Amino acid sequence: MLKNIEGQSVPNVTFKTREGDAWKDVTTEDIFAGKKVILFALPGAFTPTCSSSHLPRYNELAATFKQNGIDDVICLSVNDSFVMNEWKKVQDAKNITFIPDGSGVFSDGMGMLVNKDNLGFGLRSWRYSMLVNDGKIEKMFIEPDVEGDPFDVSDADTMLEHINPQARKPRAITVFSKPGCSHCTRAKAALEKADMAYEEIVLGTDATGLSLRAVSGALTTPQIFIDGVKIGGADELETYLASGNSVAA
């Protein structure tokens, strides 16, 4: 049975991290002392749920967490530093600090080290998240101890709801663009001026004209969507922003 250890201190561990071409020891004191930190732990870098949902949403909400008193957001997995650094690069997770628990010492100290030999993984961390204040665990969200890889409570939105139910979340913005499109450049500049982060899907690289027509009913670029609603092109976006629509929902 996976045990909730709220009220206790995090294990005293030294992590072997890699910065550039050099090894660097990072201790739990370096990470947690005098800080309010969110740590989310997962079974493995590059694995499906971890890559498609768990990590990306924490990366999206990192700025919101910091606006609500969080000093750092940590992703921890029982992987080595080379793997974690490459995963961070591939995921473009610039807002997250990656900590490799290569030998599983921290996960074991948390009581979260589990055997995944059935998948050929060996010993890995169970999926959980926690809020840590100056080294002491204030809150834990531990996935239920059931078969498989549950992902119900350790997500970023659940953690944010705990920290501040009234927190304003960033809008989900997608810009369909194509190379050499001056109106696309104008639309992206308008979003950046409004401090609204966006995902860009480039026709010919990330998608085809058929994909654009299927989702927007149009072939011209840019096509902007905010929170699932089609805004339209650059002119429509400028009208939308001029009407007072803000960065967060």
SS3 for 175?
Answer: strand
50 φ/ψ angles, rounded to the nearest 5 degrees: -65, -40
What number of residues does the chain have? Answer: 249
DSSP state of 96: S
- Averaged pLDDT of the chain: 95
Residue tagged active-site, from 50, 75, 181, 184? 50
Q: Are 202 and 179 in contact (CB under 8 A)?
A: yes
Facing residues of 27 across strands?
A: 14
User: Is 50 marked active-site?
Assistant: yes
248 or 16: whose pLDDT is higher?
A: 16
User: What is the value of pTM for the model shown?
Assistant: 0.85
Give the integer Cα–Cα distance in Å for 154 and 39: 10
- Percentage of the chain beyond pLDDT 70 is 98
**14-163 and 173-242 in the same fold:** yes
CATH superfamily of 14-163: Glutaredoxin (3.40.30.10)
The CATH-assigned architecture of domain 173-242 is 3-Layer(aba) Sandwich (3.40)
Tokens of 157: 């939105």
The closest alpha carbon to 65, from 152, 142, 157, 141, belongs to: 157
| pLDDT value of position 96 | 98
- Domain range summary for the chain, segments of one domain joined by +: 14-163, 173-242
Residue with tokens 């909730």: 4
pLDDT, mean of residues 123-132: 98
| pLDDT value of position 46 | 97
Q: Given a cut of 70, is residue 249 above it in pLDDT?
A: no
pLDDT, mean of residues 243-248: 70
